Structure formats: C-alpha cells, structure tokens
Amino acid sequence: MAPPVIGVLAIQGDFEAHVRVLERLGAETRTVRTPKDIGGLDGLVIPGGESTTMTSGIQREGLAGPLRDLVRAGTPVLGTCAGLIMLDRSHLGLLDIEAERNAFGRQVRSFEADLDMPALGGALRAVFIRAPWVAEHGEGVEVLAEVDGHPVAVREGEILAVAFHPEIEGETRLHEWLLERAGRRCRQASDTKNGGQAE
C-alpha cells in the first residue's frame, strides 16, 4: 500500500520542519495553501506560527470550510502551538477547547520542559515558544499533559493538539501517531473498497 499523504498547512509558520519530519518517517507530504490542495489527504498538520496571520490567510484563501469538512470526515489531525489555537472553538471550531494565546508569556519566556505523556510512550521533551495553554475544555477532550496545572496536550477523537513544537526538538512520536492513524484510515478505506468490489 502507498504511504499516507499528509497535508501540512503552509499559510505561515514552521511548516517546512514538519514536512522534513514526516518525510523522514516515510510519509508523502503536500503543502496546503488553497482548497485544491486538500483533496485526497489522509492526515493533516496545522503547525505553529502566528495565529492571527494564519487566520487571515485561511480566510483569504477560502480554506476554513474545506478544512472543517476534511477534519469532520474523520481525517487525523496534529496541531502544534498555533495549530492548537486554530483548532479551538473560537477559530475553526474543530476541537472542544478554548485556548489562551501567549499564556506562558512572550518569546522571552520561551522554555523547555519534560512532560509525562503515557499515551505517547512516556517522557517527552517539549519546546514552548510563546505557547498557549488550554483554558477550558469539554468533557470529551482527554488531557494528555500539563504544565503547572494547565493542559498543554489534548486529544479528542482523531485530533491531537499540543502547545509546543515537537519538530524543533526532533521528537517524532506525535508525527508517528498521526501516520499510524492515517495509515489505519487508509487500510479501512481500502478494505471497504475491495469488499465492495468483491460483492
């Protein structure tokens, strides 16, 4: 079976670093800048960056509706830093959270921390740059990690969102999670198609 095709939103931010991580892991990647880039994606990364600029770019390119349709169809998503903000109730409305921007302070307050994330295999080194945190979340949202009592990694269904930058530290487990979920979805679609043809 061909590798899953993972889209990386490339409106603004460090999208190229995510592309490099995904390709090292064997994925086929596609940068997403316009609605025509969305068709056929098996997974999606919404990277860090500046959420106001990303919001403007998404509106300018008419991407909000296609992105919502893609995710609501069950496509796995990884959102990092500003990506967590973009997924919240006030932006794309795909994750039942309210994010607080720059929650740990401006860039001079950037820091690293070791997070305990059993859901992803244990301790994980995280880089926080002008990071948000989850100020509020719905009952269906699973908190995977916290810093000083504030959620910084959450999961809801096929969406994994974190307040840090795994692509900077060389941490691959979040991207591996995305590829595993995307690959599973590809296999299910293939089995359904083959089963349908057999009938």
Which position among 18, 91, 165, 175 bears the catalytic label?
165
Contact present, 145 and 153 (Cβ < 8 Å): yes
- 81: annotated active-site residue: yes
Which position among 81, 156, 171, 175 bears the catalytic label?
81
Which position among 91, 167, 171, 175 bears the catalytic label?
167
Which one, of 93, 75, 100, 165, lies nearest residue 129 by Cα? 165
CA dist 112 and 107 (Å) reads 12
- 165: annotated active-site residue: yes
DSSP-derived 3-state class of residue 150: strand
- β-strands 111-117, 122-128: how paired? antiparallel
- 3-state SS, 177-197, equals HHHHHHHHHHHHHHHHHHHHH
- β-strands 142-147, 150-156: how paired? antiparallel
Catalytic center residues: 81, 165, 167
